[in-house]
Amino acid sequence: MGRRTAEEARVSRPLRFEVSSVIAAPADRVWQRVSTMAGVNAELRPIVRMTYPPEVDALRPEDVAPGVRVFRSWILLCGVLPVDYDDLTLLRVTPGRAFTSRRRWGASAAGSTSACSRTSRAVAA
């Protein structure tokens, strides 16, 4: 096996994507939405939807052990076609502020009482 060509090296680099928004709402109100699976899916739609067990409707720190899988979620293209799955594992939940998952994406919500910022990051290997 020889060295990789420049084209092979370029193609194999991870793809990174980040979107940030400023939301004119109090951070605690935004957190009430983004920390629920319905809120996660509202953000992902219409491109994809994540499945989740009905008993896990929100990402509460008291229900999540850092680094331990919460559940397996199927990623559904257009909400119907399974294209991947994610073993949802949270590394950190800071109530009212942020959560970080282990795999390909992380999200946070933070800010003042008048507005907050929302950032989603994705990395595809």
* Rounded CA separation 2/25 (Å): 55
**69-95 pLDDT tens trace:** 999 999 999 999 999 999 998 888 888
**1-59 pLDDT tens trace:** 566 666 665 656 666 767 777 888 888 888 888 889 999 899 889 899 999 999 998 88
Length of the chain: 125
- Report how many helices (DSSP H) and strands (DSSP E) the chain contains, helices first: 3, 7
DSSP state of 61: G
Check whether domain 16-124 has CATH 2.40.50.140, yes or no: no
Q: Which helix (H) or strand (E) holds 27?
A: helix 27-34
**Regarding predicted confidence, which is higher, 116 or 80?**
80
**99-114 pLDDT tens trace:** 777 765 444 444 444 5
